[in-house]
Structures are given as structure tokens and as C-alpha cells.
């Protein structure tokens, strides 16, 4: 496994629509393993292939149980409820914005072996599903917020205990 470079805001690869995965082969498995290692090293919640320079419809998300979900050619099939919270991104380091997302999201996707499955996420996992799938369409969370904040500003707004 290798660490991959995470592209940051302004990189053209982050503005493009990704292509579907058609080959569930060794190259895909290497990419998924590298993305997992990169996500762990960056201490993130999710990572999309365009963030590491690959225009393929691949995302990984660490769910609320710290289990890594690999989503190949993911599609959101249902959304319920609403949540608004600060959101950040490994491709927009040190900046956060208030973003409204669904509270519960169900996705269908393929695993690394080409088997179709569904996954449901709530809270942070639902947020991560939406955020990472947006990357596959060339969309950053900054498209959904009017203002970006630094970590110090976020802490001041939320207070020392992390609650408004």
C-alpha cells in the first residue's frame, strides 16, 4: 500500500465528472488499498478517487463504527430528514462551512469484487456519502456554503465543549 497525494482546491481534477468503473481487477484493489491508507494517514472520514487524481467513480467512507465502506459506482437511492453542521474536506484543508445534508442516506454501489450492495448511513455517515459522491461529480462542499471558517473560528462558534 502507498500513500497517494491529495489534490486540493484549484486542481482541475476536482472539477471534473468521474467515469464509471468497468474493471474490478487488481488495479482497482491496489487503488482502494492506497485510498484506505491515505485516508487513515490524513485522519479523514471519506475520500473520493478524484481527490487522489483518479477520475473514476470510487469512494471510501469510514462509518460511525470506524468500518471502511468501499463504494464503486455509488448512487444515492434515498434521502430522509435534514442536518446542518460544519463540514470540511481533505481537499480544502483548514477551512469549514455550514452545509445542509440529509440525515439518512441509502446508497447502492459495488464492492471491490463487483458485487452490488446497498448501505444506509445516518448522521456523519450520511453526510460523508453525499460529500464523497459530490466529488465524483466535480462538486466541493464549498459550493453549498456562503462562508468558510478557520478551525479557530469554528471552535469559537461552537464553544469549548463543541456544542452551539
State the Cα–Cα distance between residues 103 and 83, nearest whole angstrom: 5
153 an active-site residue?
no
Buried b (16+ CB within 10 A) or exposed e, 70-107: bbbbbeeeeeeeeeeebbbbbbbeebbbbbebbebbbb
Residue tagged active-site, from 132, 153, 160, 164: 132
Distance between start and end Cα atoms, the chain: 40
Q: What residues are labeled active site?
A: 132
Amino acid at each position: 500500500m502507498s500513500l497517494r497525494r491529495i489534490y486540493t482546491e484549484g486542481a482541475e481534477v476536482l472539477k471534473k465528472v468521474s467515469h464509471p468503473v468497468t474493471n474490478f481487477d487488481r488495479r482497482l484493489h491496489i487503488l482502494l488499498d492506497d485510498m484506505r491508507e491515505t485516508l487513515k494517514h490524513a485522519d479523514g472520514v471519506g475520500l473520493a478517487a478524484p481527490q487522489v487524481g483518479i477520475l473514476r467513480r470510487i469512494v471510501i467512507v469510514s462509518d460511525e463504527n470506524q468500518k471502511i465502506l468501499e463504494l464503486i459506482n455509488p448512487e444515492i437511492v434515498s434521502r430522509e430528514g435534514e442536518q446542518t453542521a460544519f463540514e470540511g474536506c481533505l481537499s480544502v484543508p483548514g477551512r469549514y462551512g455550514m452545509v445542509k445534508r440529509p440525515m439518512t442516506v441509502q446508497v447502492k454501489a459495488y464492492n471491490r469484487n463487483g458485487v452490488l450492495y446497498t448501505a444506509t448511513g445516518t448522521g456523519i455517515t450520511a453526510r460523508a456519502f453525499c460529500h464523497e459522491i459530490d466529488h465524483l461529480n466535480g462538486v466541493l462542499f464549498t459550493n453549498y456554503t456562503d462562508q468558510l471558517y478557520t478551525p479557530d473560528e469554528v471552535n469559537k462558534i461552537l464553544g469549548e465543549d463543541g456544542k452551539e
